[in-house]
Chain A
Amino acid sequence: MDYLMTLGIFASIYTILAISLNILTGYAGQVSLGHAALFGVGAYTSAALTVNLGFNYWAALPLSILITALVGALIGLSSLRAHSDFLVLITIGINFVVVALLKYTPFFGGPYGLLGIPRPSLFGEAMNTFEYFWYAVGWASFTILFVYWMSKKYIRTAFEAIKEDEEAAEAMTVSVPRFKIYAFAISAAFAGLAGNLWAHYMGVIFPGNFSFDTSIEIMTMIVLGGIGTIRGAVFGAVLLVFLPEYLRFVSDYRMLIYGLIIVFTMLFIPSGLLGDNSITWRWTRIFKKGDRVAKNNEN
């Protein structure tokens, strides 16, 4: 049971990560292959605050989110100069730099990482796995609801405009730099939250947890699920957390499988399994007749 709970916690954390990358890449079109760096910043901030500086968990939580958002905004500055493929290279570089910094900074425990990160306590007692599961699920649900709410707001339209045509967005005097920074900061805030949840569940973190491999993992989740949709991000995250646990061969060749998933999804179902225009998603909509009639009438 504990094992299932643990998987549930991982699924929740990766759901938050996938949704957070989806804000940046799916909504605002800023492709990042260094998202694990922000995950790491959140984890290490919270761990260092509680372990090294003696902060209470509940104080470290908002601080770790805030600091990660600030780091995200700083990384976002690079997106103002570099576009598309160059931005991808920059984010990859940042991922390596962050891991290296963590590895060589004694304050962060160097290659041995940080140990003894406390579980958050509820009514004076540290949460057990069962409680932590619901805690993580709660945050994942909050993330889904928040991003759903945001996607109905003006900011989402501005993100989409920037994603589609930066120059045209600028012609509408949509402040492209501002919204890019927003996208990076909001996305980073959730990555920071995920990092916090990870660190305080595991109790120990290493720089290697937040390497480029992890970035690829997160990207695979949203690519497979369907970039630009919340359901896709959730589906991809949950599937890729549970799958390796039940198919042993998958876990032995994890990175190979992730690589293949990216290649094949991009080639054959570029909008992912549950993306807006994917065959598989439309297939599930066939039974919703009302929907189609309404669409036809509009035309």
Chain B
Amino acid sequence: MEENTKKVIKVLKLENVSISYGKISAVRNVSIHVEKNEIVAIVGANGAGKTTLINAIMGFVSPQKGKIFVKGHEITNLAPWKKLAFGLAIVPEGGRVFRNLTVKENLLLGAYRIKDKSKIDDKMNEIFQMFPKMKKRYRQIAGTLSGGERQMLAIARALMSFPKILLIDEISMGLMPKLVDEVLETIHNLKSKDVTILIAEQNTNEVLDIADRAYVMQNGLIVMSGTAEELKNDSKIKESYLGI
């Protein structure tokens, strides 16, 4: 067993990360890891520190303590755009597509750091296969898309940068339950595309359906972790942390 775990590649690893805003500590001593092609969820209530943690990995906030590694390279204090080179990309809270720009322009912004035009075209075609609706709405202003389509666009936009690790923050925010399932299903399908995913989500029940493992966060601390199955079936956890 010991031998086996050593061989598994830890694509993303956080070691004792602490982040505070002034006197308020948002993330306390968090250590998590994500293995290759895994979907790992961070669940917990509003204000538990999930978004802060995701933002720290992408480099929008710097941790006061701790280290962040991608495939063994330390990236703790790198600028966001340098992290792109390590294959990190983010789908920000609620998707946040640019409503006044067309679907095409949104996608091109995702490919901002890619200079090779043919690579961008290839990726676009790949994305159109995954999201046929995006092709149909190519020239439309993103503000005219429905809520679910907008989240799809947000995911597609993040995929434009050829990510190896996708950080997804509260993608379901403001979506109706049926669409939450649809969007999460899309994310689940990304697994076959060789993308490793860390997803922060309040809709615990739904996200545990697609995740391999999950961490439960509360007041900035990781209070529980395990496989999605374990967490789903543990009645104590259900009551105290997940509210299901």
Asked if A174 contacts B112 (CB within 8 A), the reply is: yes
Measured in the bound complex, the distance between the Cα atoms of B58 and A161 in whole Å is 19
**A290 CB to closest chain B CB, in angstroms?**
15
B residues within 8 A CB of A160?
Answer: 98, 100-101, 105
Chain A residue total in the interface (Cβ 8 A) = 19
**Contact status of A173 and B108, CB under 8 A, knowing A168-B92, A168-B98:** no
Measured in the bound complex, the distance between the Cα atoms of B59 and A175 in whole Å is 13
Measured in the bound complex, the distance between the Cα atoms of B97 and A154 in whole Å is 17
Asked if B101 contacts A157 (CB within 8 A), the reply is: yes
Q: Is A131 an interface residue (CB 8 A)?
A: no
Asked if A161 contacts B113 (CB within 8 A), the reply is: no
- Contact with B99, one of A164, A169, A298 (Cβ below 8 angstroms): A164
The winner among A169, A173, A175, A298 for most chain B CB atoms within 10 A is A173
Asked if B96 contacts A158 (CB within 8 A), the reply is: no
Asked if A164 contacts B157 (CB within 8 A), the reply is: no
Mask: chain A, 161-204; 1 = CB below 8 Å from B; 0 = not: 10111011111111100000000000000000000000000000
A residues within 8 A CB of B97?
Answer: 168
Which size class do B's interface residues fall under?
20 to 34
Q: Is B80 an interface residue (CB 8 A)?
A: yes
**B150 CB to closest chain A CB, in angstroms?**
12
Q: Which residue of A lies closest to B109 (CB)?
A: A172
Q: Could you tell me which residues of chain B, from 25 to 77, have a CB within 8 Å of some CB in chain A?
A: 58, 60
Measured in the bound complex, the distance between the Cα atoms of B161 and A169 in whole Å is 14
**A278 CB to closest chain B CB, in angstroms?**
15
B residues within 8 A CB of A157?
Answer: 101, 105, 108-109
**B232 CB to closest chain A CB, in angstroms?**
30
Asked if B112 contacts A164 (CB within 8 A), the reply is: no
**Contact status of A171 and B96, CB under 8 A, knowing A158-B109, A298-B139, A298-B140:** yes
Asked if A170 contacts B112 (CB within 8 A), the reply is: no
**Contact status of A174 and B92, CB under 8 A, knowing A157-B101, A160-B98, A164-B98:** no
Asked if A165 contacts B101 (CB within 8 A), the reply is: no
Measured in the bound complex, the distance between the Cα atoms of B84 and A170 in whole Å is 12
**A281 CB to closest chain B CB, in angstroms?**
16
Asked if A165 contacts B96 (CB within 8 A), the reply is: yes
Q: Which residue of B lies closest to A173 (CB)?
A: B81
Give me 12 other A-B pairs in contact (C-beta within 8 A), A157-B105, A167-B96, A171-B90 excluded. Answer: A157-B109, A160-B100, A160-B101, A164-B98, A165-B98, A171-B92, A172-B112, A172-B161, A173-B83, A173-B112, A298-B137, A298-B140
**3 smallest A-B Cβ distances: which pairs?**
A168-B96, A173-B81, A171-B92
| Residues of chain B having any CB pair with chain A under 8 Å | 58, 60, 80-81, 83-84, 90, 92, 96-101, 105, 108-110, 112-113, 137, 139-140, 157, 161
Q: List 23 A-B contacts (CB under 8 A).
A: A157-B109, A158-B112, A160-B100, A161-B98, A163-B100, A164-B101, A167-B60, A167-B92, A167-B96, A168-B92, A168-B96, A170-B60, A171-B58, A171-B60, A172-B112, A172-B157, A173-B83, A173-B112, A173-B161, A298-B137, A298-B139, A298-B140, A299-B140
